[in-house]
Amino acid sequence: MPPVPEPSLVSFLSTERKLVEDPAIELIETLGWETASLFHEAPGPNNPTGRQSFKDAVLPKRLWAALWKLNPDLPDVALQAAADALTQDRSAMLPVAANRELASLLRDGVSVELRQDDGSTKPVRVILINWTDPQANDFFLASQVWVESDLYKRRPDLAGFVNGIPLLLLELKAPQEKL
């Protein structure tokens, strides 16, 4: 069996992370996004993102902070109903129908019925993203974030979250990689 060659300085400097991922992160930081590596993220009660499991696609702490900021006059029960509507399981739906439903929630907000003191209900809309004032939103780019399903556990290079909601996914390859 041939000996395994020692890593060289050239191979270290030409890694995918150094050549592609780090410059991409730096570029996105110039746009005002906060960034962090989630490679060593540990789901659970002490997790800074609020994820209890790698199956959580949203970042709950960032989502809740954004919901409170964007909807200051609405009670927590309305915000919880909106978060539940956003994160409900759509795996049994046709992908196009699930995408259409999520796009509507992101674009228009979540319609929630609030019970009034007299027993009647009043419809309110919970805003998930402020489309007219982008600065009112929270932009976070996570590198090496783990995501798990019933079938697979994957780690994309970069995932962009707006108000804790994953909207951007980047899988990067070094220039010398063959596809």
Distances (CA, A) of 54 to 3, 119, 156, 177: 38, 39, 13, 28
- Give pLDDT, residue 19: 75
Helix (H, G, I), strand (E, B) or coil at 86: helix
Q: What is the pTM of this model?
A: 0.85
Domain extents in the chain: 26-170
Helix (H, G, I), strand (E, B) or coil at 103: helix
Chain segment 62-73, per-residue pLDDT in tens: 999 999 999 999
Residue type at position 110: V
Mean pLDDT over 38-52 rounds to 91
Residue type at position 26: E
Chain segment 128-176, per-residue pLDDT in tens: 999 999 999 999 999 999 999 888 899 999 999 999 999 999 988 766 6
- Can you state the angle between helices 60-70 and 76-87, rounded to 10 degrees? 130
- Give pLDDT, residue 58: 96
Helix (H, G, I), strand (E, B) or coil at 165: strand
Q: Looking at the predicted structure, is the pLDDT value of residue 88 above 90?
A: yes
DSSP label at residue 157: S
Contact 57, 147 (CB under 8 A): yes
